[in-house]
Amino acid sequence: MAAAIQWLDRLIEDNADPRTADWPLMQSPIPGTAMVIIYLIVVWIGPKMMKDRAPYSLKQVLLVFNLFMVILSFYTCWEFIMGGWMTGYTLGCQLVDYSTSPKAMRMASVCWVFYVSKFIEMLDTVFFILRKKNNQISFLHVFHHALMPFTWWIGVKFVPGGFGTFHALLNSFIHFMMYIYYFLAALGPAFQKFLWWKKYMTTMQLTQFALCMIHSGQLLFIDCPYPKFFAIVIWSYGLIFFVMFMDFYRKTYKKKSALRSGEQNGLDKSKDQ
């Protein structure tokens, strides 16, 4: 066991990006792992603790949090764009710039901010628990929040930039739109008329995962020194979440559409009778 730990430490030390080595949460995967474990414990215990309690409203808290997340998501999206994706990056074999140039450091920095944002997003689940919206705490929801910190610690530790940040750019944009939706929803019933595009949010998420798979999959067929391991991780992530979100889309929207159709047919039949 000790030998395996030493081997892993050497592997990390030999391949890690020295620029991010001393940044908060980057010295070791233990702090991030501990936060994920705490998150999973809260998910397990939280609903039990709230069982006999009245749900909290949290309207003002949600407004502030969602607005903050809109700003944070816009920031990461913009920084991914200006750090490379609209300033010289290509959609093909885009290597990581490990220099300390302002542009390279800008990309590495936004990768770290994106990683930290995955822990902040865990508060979504906490708010669901406190509001007793337990139907929102699906396996898909928890799996997504628990997985992302692990994959992105690895990303920031070894490849903070280049090819692998394309999916982070897409994800930042999707979260920017998603938290705008959440912010409007938190304003109350008067703003329901502005939320007609909820269905299209899931479509956008499915498109995101499809683009991630297409983009990352190409690395298996071209000659590129970017680590293929990370491309495989991104492709696998895209596939898993595409399947899970497609199942959510089918159950949520197709079933509702069928129910509405059935109710309409029932009304039409009653008229004939």
Phi-psi region of 25 (alpha: psi -120 to 50; beta: other; left: phi over 0): left
Q: Answer yes or no: are the C-beta atoms of 156 and 42 closer than 8 Å.
A: no
Distances (CA, A) of 116 to 154, 175, 209, 232: 13, 14, 21, 23
The Cβ of residue 183 has, within 10 Å, a number of other Cβ atoms equal to: 19
144 annotated active-site: yes
Catalytic residue, chosen from 144, 167, 175, 215, is: 144
- Gap between the terminal Cα atoms of the chain: 76
Rg of the chain, C-alpha, whole Å: 21
The Cβ of residue 250 has, within 10 Å, a number of other Cβ atoms equal to: 10
Q: Which residues are identified as catalytic?
A: 144
